[in-house]
């Protein structure tokens, strides 16, 4: 989770929503990523998607069997779906996303009984740090909006 939090801080520094993700298999870090939605002008450039894409490219396989993804925020529906499609074994996240979370908050994509693969998950790892990073980011956005109204 240290690496995922470092990626989240990199996103913060780029004025992106501070979410980071890392794909690990065994003792090997396959890939890492952070949100680049604004930077890339791409609504799919979420940390998990970018890390999954890179891990698949590096491993040479569209399936990430045996991999664990560490992410600072509960995956959204899109990212949770990508985790299932990639056959990731497990995902570990820090904080829930009550407005977009597709794993437990708004949906159960990772372990839906109708899906052809289920992803194990664990939540709450380093939650305080991830939550504070998100609070700081959105606080700065609100303060900027008050200073410089549209």
Give 52's pLDDT tier (boundaries 50, 70, 90). very high
Q: Is the dihedral of CA 109, 112, 114, 120 positive or negative?
A: positive
Q: Is pLDDT of 149 > 90?
A: no
- Show the beta-strand stretches assigned E in the chain: 20-25, 28-34, 67-73, 90-95, 120-123
3-state secondary structure of 62: coil
pLDDT, position 148: 84
Q: So which residues are the catalytic ones?
A: 48
Q: Is pLDDT of 3 > 90?
A: yes
pLDDT in tens, 62-108: 999 999 999 999 999 999 999 999 999 999 999 999 999 999 999 99
Dihedral pair phi/psi, residue 64, rounded to 5°: -105, 50
Residues 6 or more apart whose CB falls under 8 angstroms from that of 85 comprise: 117
């Amino acid at each position: 989770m240290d690496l995922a939090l470092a990626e989240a801080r990199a996103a913060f520094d780029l004025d992106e929503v501070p979410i980071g993700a890392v794909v690990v298999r065994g003792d090997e870090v396959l890939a890492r990523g952070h949100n680049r939605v604004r930077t890339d002008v791409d609504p799919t450039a979420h940390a998990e998607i970018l890390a999954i894409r890179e891990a698949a490219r590096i491993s040479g396989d569209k399936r990430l069997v045996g991999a664990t993804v560490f992410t600072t925020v509960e995956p959204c529906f899109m990212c949770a779906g990508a985790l299932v499609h990639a056959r990731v074994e497990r995902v570990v996240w820090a904080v829930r996303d009550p407005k977009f979370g597709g794993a437990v908050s708004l949906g159960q994509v990772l372990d839906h009984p109708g899906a052809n693969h289920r992803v194990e998950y664990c939540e709450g790892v380093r939650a305080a740090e991830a939550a504070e990073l998100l609070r700081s980011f959105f606080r700065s956005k609100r303060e900027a909006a008050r200073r410089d109204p549209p």
